[in-house]
Amino acid sequence: MTESNPPLKMEVRGLHFYYGSNHALKNINIVIRDRQITALIGPSGCGKSTFLRTLNRLNELIPQTRIEGTIRLDGEDIYQPGTDVVALRQRVGMVFQRPNPFPKSIFENVAFGPRVLGVHTKSKIEEKVEQSLKAAALWPEVSDRLHLNALGLTLGQQQRLCIARVLAVQPEVILMDEPCSALDPLATLKIEELMQELKKKYTIVIVTHNMRQAARTSGWTGFFHLGELLEYATTEDIFTRPQNPQTENYVTGRYG
């Protein structure tokens, strides 16, 4: 595991996670590098989505779960007692598997974040909404219908709206949980292009089932299998020189 530059944004040490008695994550050690795209791959049920949700403590919504180990964000353990979870989730945003815009207007969806942060000036909110929609490459498509219901957009547009919604909170890290699995290839391509753009300002962690997507978009890749992180290296190494035979089977498509 090479730990050279670029600098670390998040650092996970000895992470275990349990759903009741089910040991879902076993001793995960991984570093997330600043302003890089880190892809997490692995077969269904391997724990990669569970792991993603430990990074913004969204796993806590599920009752009877337990976590051990440390996750540091800029050196601060996000699980230490007294951590402001609301503030953490503003710093570590998340895009979900299925686009989940609120049943509100396009404008209100993006304005939601700034509003809960306490921004109430109309002009400031409008500015933020426009900025975020532009950054999510959605502005030209919706600028003339901001007040229509977001559920009327195509799935691809809805997903970019969800990204815009996250950007409006000005996070530092963006977690993406199979963001393209509900989308068609063209919409997928748009999101991938967008990720390259976002990489310049944000640290991105993406869970994906799509090998080619991981290969195309990410700089670093981790391979999860049965709750363990079997291999973690640069994406190039994972796909061309995997050290672990299971990784090799998986990335070459021989995995059962």
- Site for other proteins, rule CB under 8 A: 56, 58, 61, 63, 86-90, 93-94, 96, 98, 100-104, 112-113, 115-117, 149, 151-152, 162, 165-166, 169
In this structure, are residues 41 and 13 in contact, taking their beta carbons and an 8 Å threshold?
no
Q: Please give the structure tokens belonging to residue 185.
A: 């290839």
Minimal distance, residue 234 CB to other proteins, in Å: 28
Q: HSE on the CB side for 232, CA within 13 Å?
A: 18
Q: In the complex, what is the shortest distance from the CB of residue 57 to other proteins, in angstroms, rounded to a whole number?
A: 9
Nearer to other proteins, 57 or 216 (CB): 57
CB of 218 to other proteins, least distance (A): 21
Which is closer to other proteins, CB of 177 or CB of 192? 177
- The SS3 of residue 71 is strand
How crowded is residue 201: how many other Cβ atoms within 10 Å of its Cβ?
A: 13
Are 203 and 124 in contact by the 8 Å Cβ rule? The answer is no
User: Cβ closer to other proteins: 176 or 187?
Assistant: 176
Nearest to 215 by CA among 232, 240, 189, 198: 240
| Least distance CB 73 / other proteins (angstroms) | 14
Indicate the residue among 7 and 152 with the shorter CB distance to other proteins: 152
